[in-house]
């Protein structure tokens, strides 16, 4: 049976693209290499033997920027998706033991600021209002293909006018500030505007997830705006949501929506290569040797895995291949998942605090220490003290663990993709022991009540989830890898040098995070090309 479209990878962007293609009438097949749908947005048992029934979000662990248009179009709520807004949205534990919640209610947060940083309270609130205004300018670009910088003539003029219209509200001051945010240093910006090291660490806790660069490196300021983009069903700025059932509930709901449109989804179906004839991708070849033909092939795999692994190299221009090889990847983070047979209690946390507050916090370094952690990672070393984002989702979601047990998931940065000595196979155990020791100082139950653990080094993220070099964003979020530069210049509009082959994953605009935007934009580009007979 032939198909109109084949989507490689059942991650959330692949499923999003498949839904829109099928809704437009294309007979669509999704092929997933793993045994489970979801890509990096999956919910799985940590250790089926030692802790049956204890499930956690294996990789991605919070919903922040999932586009409301996609939630609405796929009717994800009707298909079972339920998100609980995080409150506080961020909570930092500083090295001296202070716990700082960033409440989503401005009045409540203003009171908190006055308590621990009265001198900075006014400055910060003014700064946040300005940041939110700047972030709103970026919103219209999220669900649009980047401008075609190679276009000339009438089409090039139309591209210019379209982009200018989307940015019509941007003024001179806005432009200079946006350029500064794209290229500046988070640490230097915070040092200019704030005095309190505690407040700086609180802002740090939500600004550099999974990204290369210590806070004093150029290009790290952009994360401060990126995480203020809208998300959730109401497109609330800075939204952070706990997903009931774990992040896999998002992709399961998406899969249900896809099937309702006639999409066929196969698991345990790894693609080995693409068949290209006369410059056109017309089939995929599975690892078992079987071939499946399609009018359009859409890859949710990252750009390097797609272009350097699936497409025969002879079908791509040498300069294009060189550009793809140059994409900055080498993921700087890890995941650490645990099962405990007692509630993990953060030292210093008020036991009367609601579960929503107790279940989320980041063990955050001071700004200067964060820079040193990153500098160590650049040398291939693991710092003695790491930056650890902690979620205990079972405190608010009893579907994840049986009574009496809890699951904890930790996002860890910065780490080297390649250790200076040996590899992660040899040093995985050392990393796990270092994490257990650090966590135990803040959460004593980690030492006394731990039942099972699973650590995913950058190498493990690559091997298990199929993301090149373990990069959760399919390529670093840095100025030269954003917008019309993503994944590479001249090929940033989802189409590839191979006719009828498209990318729809996080390696394309607007980048990583569980947004669905790349899948949405790719599907719209494909349907436009079909309509104009370009494929």
Cis peptide before 173 (omega within 30 of 0): no
How far from chain centre, in Å, is Cα 356? 22
Pick the CATH number of 3-83+244-327+472-531 from 3.40.50.620, 3.50.50.60, 3.40.250.10, 3.40.47.10: 3.50.50.60
DSSP-based helix, strand, coil % in the chain, nearest 5: 40, 20, 45
* Percent of the chain predicted with pLDDT > 90: 75
CATH 1.20.120, applies to 330-465 = no
- Which DSSP symbol is given to 16? H
pTM (2 decimals)? Answer: 0.94
Is residue 415 within 8 A of residue 456, CB to CB? The reply is no
pLDDT at 156 over 60: no
How high is the pLDDT of residue 162? Answer: 63
What does the block give as tokens for 120?
């900075």
pLDDT at 157 over 60: no
pLDDT in tens, 289-319: 999 999 999 999 999 999 999 999 999 999 9
How high is the pLDDT of residue 418? Answer: 94
User: Of the given ranges (198-202, 329-333, 379-383, 477-481), which has the lowest mean pLDDT?
Assistant: 477-481
Q: Where in the chain is the domain with CATH 3.30.519?
A: 330-465
Cis peptide before 507 (omega within 30 of 0): no
- What's the rounded Cα separation, in Å, for the pair 395 and 401? 10
pLDDT at 265 over 60: yes
pLDDT in tens, 441-495: 999 999 999 999 999 999 999 999 999 999 999 999 888 898 899 999 989 999 9
pLDDT at 164 over 60: no
* Percent of the chain predicted with pLDDT > 70: 93
How high is the pLDDT of residue 159? Answer: 61
How high is the pLDDT of residue 168? Answer: 59
- What's the rounded Cα separation, in Å, for the pair 76 and 60? 18
How high is the pLDDT of residue 56? Answer: 98
How high is the pLDDT of residue 534? Answer: 82
Q: Which residue has the higher pLDDT, 180 or 24?
A: 24
Q: What is the DSSP string of 216-232?
A: TSTT-THHHHHTTSEET
How high is the pLDDT of residue 257? Answer: 98
Q: Which residue has the higher pLDDT, 109 or 230?
A: 109
How high is the pLDDT of residue 332? Answer: 94
**For all residues of the chain together, what is the average pLDDT?**
92
pLDDT in tens, 61-76: 999 889 999 999 999 9
How high is the pLDDT of residue 169? Answer: 60
Q: What is the DSSP string of 301-346?
A: S-HHIIIIIIS-GGGS-HHHHHHHHTS-----EEEEEEEESS----
pLDDT category at 153 given cuts 50, 70, 90 is low
Residue 409 burial (10 A CB sphere; 0-12, 13-18, 19+): buried
- What's the rounded Cα separation, in Å, for the pair 91 and 64? 15
pLDDT category at 127 given cuts 50, 70, 90 is confident
pLDDT at 32 over 70: yes
pLDDT at 29 over 60: yes
How high is the pLDDT of residue 149? Answer: 72
Strand, helix or coil for residue 35: coil
pLDDT at 173 over 80: no
Q: Where in the chain is the domain with CATH 3.50.50.60?
A: 3-83+244-327+472-531
How high is the pLDDT of residue 171? Answer: 65
Is residue 520 within 8 A of residue 70, CB to CB? The reply is yes
How high is the pLDDT of residue 349? Answer: 97
How high is the pLDDT of residue 122? Answer: 84
How high is the pLDDT of residue 47? Answer: 96
Q: Which residue has the higher pLDDT, 532 or 247?
A: 247
How high is the pLDDT of residue 264? Answer: 98
pLDDT at 380 over 80: yes
How high is the pLDDT of residue 126? Answer: 84
Q: Which whole number is the average pLDDT over 209-220? A: 90
pLDDT at 322 over 70: yes
């Amino acid at each position: 049976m032939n198909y109109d479209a084949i989507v490689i990878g059942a991650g959330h962007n692949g499923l999003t693209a498949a839904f829109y293609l099928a809704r437009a009438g294309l007979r669509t097949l999704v092929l997933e290499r793993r045994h489970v749908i979801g890509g990096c947005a999956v919910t799985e048992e940590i250790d089926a033997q030692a802790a049956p029934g204890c499930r956690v979000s294996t990789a991605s662990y919070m919903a922040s920027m999932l586009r409301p248009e996609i939630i609405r179009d796929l009717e994800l709520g009707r298909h079972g998706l339920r998100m609980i807004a995080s409150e506080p949205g961020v909570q930092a534990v500083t090295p001296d033991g202070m716990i700082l919640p960033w409440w989503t209610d401005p009045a409540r947060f203003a009171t908190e600021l006055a308590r621990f940083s009265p001198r900075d309270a006014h400055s910060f609130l003014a700064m946040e209002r300005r940041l939110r205004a700047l972030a709103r300018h970026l919103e219209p670009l999220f669900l649009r293909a980047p401008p075609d910088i190679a276009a000339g003539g009438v089409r090039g003029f139309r591209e210019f006018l379209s982009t200018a219209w989307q940015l019509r509200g941007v003024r001179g001051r806005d432009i200079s500030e946006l350029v500064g945010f794209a290229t500046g240093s988070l640490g230097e910006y915070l040092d200019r505007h704030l005095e309190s090291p505690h407040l700086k660490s609180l802002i740090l806790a939500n600004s550099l997830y999974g990204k290369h660069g210590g806070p004093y490196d150029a290009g790290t300021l952009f994360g401060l705006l990126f995480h203020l983009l809208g998300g959730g069903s109401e497109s609330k700025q800075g939204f952070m949501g706990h997903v009931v059932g774990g992040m896999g509930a998002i992709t399961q709901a998406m899969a249900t929506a896809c099937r309702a449109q006639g999409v066929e989804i196969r698991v345990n179906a790894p693609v080995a290569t693409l068949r290209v004839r006369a410059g056109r991708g017309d089939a995929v070849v599975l690892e078992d040797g079987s071939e499946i033909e399609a009018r359009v092939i859409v890859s949710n795999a990252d750009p390097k895995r797609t272009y350097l692994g699936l497409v025969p190299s002879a079908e791509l221009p040498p300069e294009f291949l060189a550009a793809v090889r140059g994409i900055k990847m080498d993921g700087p983070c890890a995941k650490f998942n645990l099962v405990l047979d007692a509630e993990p209690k953060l030292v210093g946390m008020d036991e009367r605090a609601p579960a929503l507050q107790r279940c989320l916090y980041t063990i955050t370094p001071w700004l200067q220490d964060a820079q040193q952690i990153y500098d160590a990672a650049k040398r291939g070393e693991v710092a003695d003290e790491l930056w650890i984002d902690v979620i205990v989702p079972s405190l608010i979601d009893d579907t994840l663990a049986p009574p009496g047990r809890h699951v904890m998931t930790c996002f860890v940065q910065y780490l080297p993709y390649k250790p200076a000595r040996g590899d992660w196979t040899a040093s995985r155990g050392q990393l796990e022991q270092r994490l257990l020791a650090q966590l135990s100082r803040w959460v004593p139950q980690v030492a006394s009540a731990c039942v099972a653990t699973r650590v995913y080094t950058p190498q493990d993220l690559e091997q298990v989830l199929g993301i090149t070099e373990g990069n959760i964003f399919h390529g670093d979020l840095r100025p030269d890898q954003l917008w019309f530069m993503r994944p590479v210049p001249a090929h940033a509009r989802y189409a590839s040098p191979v006719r009828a082959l498209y990318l729809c994953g996080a390696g394309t605009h607007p980048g990583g995070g569980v947004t669905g935007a790349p899948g949405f934009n790719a599907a719209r580009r494909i349907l436009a090309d079909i309509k104009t007979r370009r494929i």
